């Protein structure tokens, strides 16, 4: 029998950025602020609030500054925003923020589709961002670290090489992203273990998508390899718009449910998360893919109908 680690597993919410950027409808600023304030009270370690990309490219997050100026910040929660380039950094520096998240793909093809630049161009941008970030922390995400929708297999050595170049730009932490949900548990265990061994002391996050139904299994494989930070999206919303076939991120409440009931230390309020997921579903007017919201936690019970009691002979 295995014994779960006694280390805390930190859950980092990305749904308000990664999910809402492709939600299909604009979520009003006041609704975003309410959702973010509620999420801040659940015990999450970090929340990626929004993205400083061009409003023309991502109109659903055009209110980034307005949202960040209105939210209630809670001690112990880090607030982050994605930036694609130095123009995004300028916007990030104009608001109150703890961290910026920069992204590039290990796959040249996906980087061109997603960011309209080569991997070398991305690295050059990151050097500039790190040199001019002021007091902001910088997290670097390596997209398509487990496979590319255009070119297929991505080697472990390629991921580690780009991770080393990322670290050389001056980033503070690293995220390995399964952008299109191609990873399998053994693959996650091997790459996460290799990255932890290659960069001791560096905070490494695992960002997963549930495209092929392996999101929770992959998260547990990452934890077994030594990962202590996991990205997730409330309700399971999201999906890279430049990755054909990609579906939502791993669902926050589903992940927390698995961790808590499997004995891991995960200081997140599951009931609050489920309530927020219901709220989000009502706002989007669309069914969300998360499962725990629909079924309830494993300790949920339902009253037996009188008809069933009679048929079982439990009442006369």
Convert the pLDDT of each residue in 117-152 to its tens digit.
Answer: 999 999 999 999 999 999 999 999 999 999 998 999
Determine contact, residues 68/51, Cβ cutoff 8 Å: no
pLDDT of 223 higher than 90:
yes
More confident residue, 220 or 301: 220
Tell which residue, 211, 223, 301, 289, has the closest CA to residue 252: 289
Q: Tell me the pLDDT of the chain averaged across its residues.
A: 94
In three-state secondary structure terms, 148 is strand
Look up tokens 């209630």; give the residue: 72
Give yes or no: 240 in active site: yes
- Nearest-10 Cα torsion for 171, 255, 208, 189: 80
| Paired tokens of 83 | 């930036």
- The whole-number pLDDT of residue 1 equals 47
- Report pTM: 0.94
Q: What pairs with residue 78 in β-bridges?
A: 46
Determine contact, residues 232/252, Cβ cutoff 8 Å: yes
Instruction: Report the C-alpha gap between 243 and 289 in whole angstroms.
Output: 18
Close Cβ partners of 280 (under 8 Å, ≥ 6 residues apart): 15, 35, 234, 235, 237, 288
Quick one: CATH architecture of 10-311? Alpha-Beta Barrel (3.20)
Determine contact, residues 98/136, Cβ cutoff 8 Å: yes
Burial of 23 (0-12, 13-18, 19+ CB in 10 A): middle
Determine contact, residues 78/43, Cβ cutoff 8 Å: no
pLDDT of 243 higher than 70:
no
Instruction: Report the C-alpha gap between 216 and 252 in whole angstroms.
Output: 10
Tell me the per-residue pLDDT of 15-71, one tens digit each, with 9 for 90 and over. Answer: 999 999 988 899 999 999 999 999 999 999 999 999 999 999 899 999 999 999 999
Stretch 1-13: mean pLDDT: 86
Which of 192, 240, 251, 266 is an active site residue? 240
Tell which residue, 249, 242, 248, 207, has the closest CA to residue 114: 242
DSSP state of 229: E
DSSP state of 117: S
| Paired tokens of 173 | 């932490």
- The whole-number pLDDT of residue 245 equals 60
Look up tokens 């300028």; give the residue: 90
pLDDT of 94 higher than 80:
yes
Instruction: Report the C-alpha gap between 125 and 84 in whole angstroms.
Output: 9
Q: Which of 90-94, 147-151, 287-291 has the highest mean pLDDT?
A: 90-94
pLDDT of 247 higher than 80:
no
Instruction: Report the C-alpha gap between 111 and 247 in whole angstroms.
Output: 19
Determine contact, residues 258/240, Cβ cutoff 8 Å: no
Instruction: Report the C-alpha gap between 151 and 155 in whole angstroms.
Output: 12
- The whole-number pLDDT of residue 2 equals 59
In three-state secondary structure terms, 123 is helix
- Give the helix/strand (H/E) hosting 103: strand 99-105
Q: Which of 104-108, 129-133, 179-183 has the highest mean pLDDT?
A: 129-133
Close Cβ partners of 201 (under 8 Å, ≥ 6 residues apart): none
Q: Of 44-48, 223-227, 285-289, 312-316, where does mean pLDDT reach its minimum? A: 312-316
- The whole-number pLDDT of residue 304 equals 87
How sure is the predictor about 217, in pLDDT bands with cuts at 50, 70 and 90? Answer: very high
Determine contact, residues 204/229, Cβ cutoff 8 Å: yes
In three-state secondary structure terms, 253 is helix
* Count of alpha carbons within 13 angstroms of residue 148, beta-carbon side: 21
Look up tokens 């608001």; give the residue: 95
């Amino acid at each position: 029998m295995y014994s779960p680690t006694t280390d805390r597993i930190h859950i980092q919410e990305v749904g308000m950025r990664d999910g809402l950027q492709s939600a299909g409808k604009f979520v009003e600023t006041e609704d975003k602020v309410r959702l973010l304030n509620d999420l801040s009270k659940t015990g999450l370690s970090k929340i990626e609030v929004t993205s400083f990309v061009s409003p023309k490219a991502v109109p659903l997050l055009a209110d980034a500054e307005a949202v960040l100026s209105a939210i209630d910040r809670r001690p112990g929660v880090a607030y982050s925003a994605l930036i694609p380039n130095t123009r995004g950094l300028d916007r990030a520096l104009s608001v109150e923020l703890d961290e910026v998240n920069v992204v590039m793909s290990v796959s040249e093809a996906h980087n061109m589709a997603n960011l309209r630049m080569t991997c070398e161009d991305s690295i050059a941008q990151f050097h500039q961002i790190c040199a001019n970030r002021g007091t902001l922390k910088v997290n670097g995400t390596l997209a398509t670290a487990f496979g590319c929708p255009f070119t297929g297999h991505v080697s472990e050595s390629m991921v580690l090489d780009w991770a080393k170049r990322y670290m050389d730009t001056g980033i503070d932490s690293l995220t390995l992203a399964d952008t299109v949900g191609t990873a399998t548990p053994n693959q996650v265990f091997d790459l996460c273990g290799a990255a932890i061994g290659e960069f001791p002391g560096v905070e490494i996050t695992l960002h997963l998508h549930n495209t092929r139904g392996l999101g929770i299994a992959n998260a547990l494989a990452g934890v077994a390899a030594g990962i202590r930070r996991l990205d997730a999206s409330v309700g399971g919303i999201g999906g890279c718009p430049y990755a054909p076939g990609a579906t939502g991120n791993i669902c926050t409440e589903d992940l927390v449910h698995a961790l808590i009931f499997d004995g891991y230390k995960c200081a997140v309020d599951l009931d609050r998360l489920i309530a927020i997921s219901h709220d989000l579903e009502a706002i989007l007017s669309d069914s969300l893919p998360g499962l725990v919201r629909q079924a309830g936690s494993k300790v949920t019970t339902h009253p037996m109908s009188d008809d069933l009691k009679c048929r079982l002979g439990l009442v006369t």
